[in-house]
Amino acid sequence: MSRLYITGLFIAFCLTCYSQNKVLNYLNYGDEKYKKGDVVNALDYYKQALDLDSNSVAINWKYAEALKAYKDYEKSAHYYGIVYQKEGAKIYPASLINYALMVKQTGDYDQAISLFKKAKTIYANDKKSYFYLKSKRELEACLWAKSTSNLTAECITNPLPSSVNTENSEFGHSISDGTFYFSSLRADSINSKEEVFTPNYTTSLFQSKQVEGSFEESKKITSLVAANINVGNGSFSLNKTRFYFSICKNDNFNYSCKIAVANYRDGVWSSVDTLGEIINATGANTTMPHIANWNGIETLFFASDREGTEGGMDIWYSQLKNGNQFSKVRNMKEINTVDNDLCPWWDEKSNTLYFSSSWYNGFGGLDIFKSTFSNQFSAPENIGKPFNSSANDLYYFQQQDTAYLSSNRKGVKFSKNPTCCSDIFSVVPFRKEIDSTELITTIETFETLMKRLPVTLYFHNDVPNPKSTDTTTTLNYLTTYAEYTKLLSTYQEEYSEGLIPEKAQIAKEEIESFFIEYVDQGVKDLSIFSDLLFKELQKGTRIKLIIKGFASPLAKSDYNVKLTKRRIASLKNYLAELENGEFSTYIENGTLQFVEVPFGENNANKMTSDNFHDQKNSVYSKAAAVERKIEIISIERLNE
């Protein structure tokens, strides 16, 4: 072996060792910065390590995690995708669910749906696990978001001016006596690379005077500032003599908060103290106080992960007496979920609680929801766009005819990442012809009905009225739907019969996802469409619906044509029974008309099995089930 060859090997070995040491140094620096919450510099170090070793699953994972913390959804999704492709959620079980969540926050609901279906299958071995439950929940949420993403309330959304919003993060809380109170995460000195030149990079409370609709330059409330302590989330007592807010310590990127109170008089803050253990439970993170009048009683709403929490952060409340006596703290069980439920704000005019959650049907990460109280709280309802987006939307409150919220949606002020930081937005106006406390979240017009199409409804084989040659039925579609969903386990068992356990589990999840994505979603779409249709009919609009019917190719063509007519009839029965039968009046007088297009199996996929003796594929497969449907494909306005 030549000396030159040996020398070359030695040099290559030395270079490899040098490169590996350099990678380890970058990772150690990045880890140190990340633990301190300095995500920007952590990203810089991880990227340098990645440039030297792009095939490392561990480095790609660290980079994806840091990008997620930085709220750079597109890049984070890309690198989570690389991790998942390399290790299949075996080394990093969260890689697939995080990949799907980041894709959702880019607004690509089609890809997110595909990923959540895959995640549901991957995590199906433990159906009680958070990953499985979250995948299933997000699949439903993405289907909802996709079906409603083109509906936007008639409101104008504007970021507040630079006297309030900066390239850092701002969160709005309340307006009192013409002054806007908010929190901002700012350092005293930051350069163009977002490097902090002071160790005191904390959240502080600010105020900005409103003068004739404009916001004066904001000022920090220095009386409520403490060294290395974050303060924020301000709310006044009902008599405005006390000011409740959060004080938080940042321990390696983990906030530990308590609720404090300060006396307030003539612009002077004094006697700052934390509330007792009734509110600030030992070892719990307690934050986001909001004082409100609930049925004549001063009430403190707040968020906490104290004992008894469903998961993440929950919303809790306690009633006050004499300004300093708190009743037993109660969990808002009707609202809280296994995810984060935050930022409570109570509207006493409408008896409605507004809050943010990452669990219910939403467009992005955290969406804003409302729940009205009448003996008990109603099911939480997403307040829609433009209040919500594919980013995080929270800290909602109203002042007269204007709503305010904080969001990191595209359009915020930023220096590097367009979704890194939150700004405060105003949303105006509400509909003038109704009470200003009621938000309009859909545009109830004929054009909105068009946007809801097609509405597709699915049926079990030979339903309704099996083995019949009738062209009509007395059954309501919801009746056939209820019976259909009871057969889910039968479909799963039949379709997975004869498969090895691993493939059988995949087949069962595929069938369940079909029921969620197609069968259940069809009923949800029908409910929304029917409500809008009824309101349009009430306006005096004469409408014609065009409905197509399809069937799988198991029976003969003439039989399937009659079957699809029965299916269309079940939809007409559903409509006729709505609104206590008021819908039937519009059908009988010709205001609502139907055009039926029963295709039978003529338009069915020719690859779908028509073998009666192979019911696994001809009845219980997704390929066969997806053919058994009717669709409201078009809507026309009839001329007089």
User: Concatenated DSSP letters for 368-397?
Assistant: EEEEEEESEEPPPEE--BTT--SS-EEEEE
Q: Which fold has domain 3-108?
A: 1.25.40
Say yes or no: do domains 3-108 and 446-637 share a fold: no
pLDDT-above-90 percentage for the chain = 59
Can you give the pLDDT at residue 2?
A: 57
pTM of the model: 0.86
pLDDT per residue over 418-453, tens digit each? 898 899 999 986 544 334 334 333 345 677 788 888
Q: Is the pLDDT of residue 158 over 60?
A: yes
User: Tens of pLDDT along 496-546?
Assistant: 999 999 899 999 999 999 999 999 999 999 998 998 899 889 888 899 999
What pLDDT sits at residue 432? 41
| Total Cβ atoms within 10 A of residue 485 | 13
Where are the domains positioned within the chain? Answer: 3-108, 156-428, 446-637
pLDDT tier at 251, thresholds 50, 70, 90: low
pLDDT digits (tens, 9 = 90+) for 88-131: 999 999 999 999 999 999 999 999 999 999 999 999 999 999 99
Say which CATH class 156-428 falls into. Answer: mainly beta
Q: Is the pLDDT of residue 319 over 50?
A: yes
- The DSSP bridge pattern shows strands 230-236 and 219-220 to be unpaired
List, for residues 353-376, the tens digit of each pLDDT value: 999 999 999 999 999 999 999 889
Question: CATH for 446-637?
Answer: 3.30.1330.60
Task: Compute the distance between CA of residue 11 and CA of residue 226 in angstroms, rounded to an integer.
Answer: 55
**Cα dist from 431 to 427, 438, 467, 532, 632, whole Å:** 12, 8, 52, 17, 30
